[in-house]
Amino acid sequence: MDQQPVTNSKSDESPGEIEIDLKDPALAAFLAWLVPGAGHFYQRRTAKGILFSTCILGTFLFGMMVGDGRVVYAQWQSFDKRWPYFCQFPAGAVSLPALVQNMRGDHLFGDKYAPPDSDTLHDLNYDLNHRFEIGTVYTMIAGLLNVLAIYDAWGGPVIIAPREKKKKKGWFGKKGDTDEPPDDQKEAETAQTKSTESESPDAASAAG
């Protein structure tokens, strides 16, 4: 299916184009990362802004609630290489305290976002049980969903053009031609038929 172009200018509108003012796409993408939906509010795409902010932030906060606020942290130790944080980071400002906690080395936000030591990590997995993994997955999903929102703020929506009806192949196999032969060929066939009919009586009399 054909995709109609999306432009961020308000100049001459040509057929087949849909004009959407994306303003500054780079700034919109940054705002969309910082706070999910903010880039779309900046572009005055309010409906999408509400949708993205509600769904993404709601998913992230639900994961934090399920995991007792301990499932988002940045750490790279031999006993715990926290790969999930690479998926949680795109959720924006709500994931940044984990970096702050990791760099400062103290509990600026209490136990929330704090990287656990090996004993604390064991206790978390024991006390929270499956909730630790569920909370981790929900916060990862929120971050990955925001990647799509960031791309949408930067590149604009994908607009699918209506599918055009295919024309039947014609006499010469070209689109747009009819299934009937050309007029000059029709005339040649008609003349040949008349010539054959006129010669038939002469041939019959000669045979007689």
What are the residue boundaries of the structural domains of the chain, listed by start?
Answer: 3-160, 167-208
The answer to whether residues 52 and 40 touch, using CB atoms and an 8 Å cutoff, is: yes
| Cα separation, 129 vs 73, whole angstroms | 18
pLDDT at 151: 96
Residue 205, SS3? helix
pLDDT at 110: 77
Give φ, ψ of 161 to 5 degrees.
Answer: -75, 150
The number of residues making up the chain comes to 208
Query: What pTM did the predictor assign?
Result: 0.67
| Cα separation, 143 vs 106, whole angstroms | 25
Residue numbers of the chain with a pLDDT score lower than 70: 1-18, 105-107, 161, 165-186, 191, 194-208
Here the tokens at position 69 are 């606020």
pLDDT at 19: 72
| Cα separation, 96 vs 72, whole angstroms | 9
pLDDT at 185: 65
pLDDT one-digit tens code per residue, 67-92: 999 999 999 888 888 999 999 999 99
pLDDT at 97: 92
Torsion on CA atoms 115, 117, 123, 127, rounded to nearest 10: 0
> For the CA atoms of the chain, what is the radius of gyration?
34
pLDDT at 142: 98
pLDDT at 109: 74
Distance of CA 154 to the CA centre of its chain: 11
pLDDT at 167: 61
Dihedral angle sign, alpha carbons of residues 124, 129, 132, 135: negative
| Cα separation, 190 vs 208, whole angstroms | 28
pLDDT at 177: 52
pLDDT at 28: 96
The answer to whether residues 128 and 11 touch, using CB atoms and an 8 Å cutoff, is: no
